[in-house]
Amino acid sequence: MTAFDRAWDLVKMPFVNTEGELGADVLYQGRRTGDEDTGHWTPHKSKAMAYAMFGPRYDYDGTAFVDANKHYPELYMLRSPKENIPLSPDIEYMDGEQNAINRGRVAFVDNGDLARYYEQGLVDKPQKLSDEHVADIIQNIIDSELYQHSPETDEDMEWEEYEEELAYEDEPNDAFNRIFKLPKGVRMQDWEGIYPTENEDSPLLDALSEKYEDTTPLWDKITTNDMLVNDSFARDFVRRLRERGQ
């Protein structure tokens, strides 16, 4: 991408962290029906999907508490604003920008600023993605080679074994975009709409290039497991979301 291309992209104006170094075209939030806005937003749609399906988890060793026969996962999306909107980075979760890029943990926190931007018409209010859209993503995950069945449903395999057996019919980035239904027109689509707002020599640009051009996109591993309670499974999300149809 040339300097001209990057300058042209900035016409659309991004969400940016308060240091102004990292921008994002689209932000997502995952939650369940009845939950209030958490204030946490991420450009990683897979991360938001994991939060919507399994709730807040600081690691993957805890006990799942979401019941797919009771809860409905929901995804909310914020489109890029009409001017640069500074949002605080989720410092604890990200653990540094480059580390966050490498681990797929870029995240922003709304400390009440977005309400003012909504009132001024600078940012459209969050859009709830349809139940059908969310159901399609979960079904895509289930149908993918990355899906790891629980011991109750199929032979259990270690994550490393799955990584060795991954085989895409299309390129990894294309598969990622297709499975998670990333919106068209997102800047640097293979980078999930994340980009540095600095010059071409930005270390963030180098980190993004290495992460999204030389490796397979980082899935949130939790979305590939049936870690639910009360004998419920991810497929129950799909069935009930399609039945509800909101």
Could you list the pLDDT tens digit for every one of the 246 residues in the chain? Answer: 444 344 434 445 788 887 778 889 899 999 999 999 999 999 999 999 989 988 876 544 556 678 899 999 999 999 888 788 889 999 888 888 888 888 888 999 998 889 999 999 889 999 999 999 999 999 998 887 666 544 444 444 444 444 444 444 556 677 788 889 988 777 666 678 888 887 667 788 888 888 777 666 777 766 766 678 888 888 999 999 999 999
Cβ(18)–Cβ(86) below 8 Å: yes
In a domain, 67, yes or no: yes
Whether residue 109 is contained in a domain is answered as: yes
Q: How many residues does the chain have?
A: 246
Domains in the chain, number: 1
Tell me if 138 is assigned to some domain. yes
The one-character DSSP state at 77 is E
Residue 111 belongs to what domain range? 3-241
37: left (phi over 0), alpha (psi -120 to 50) or beta: beta
Residue 246 forms part of a structural domain:
no
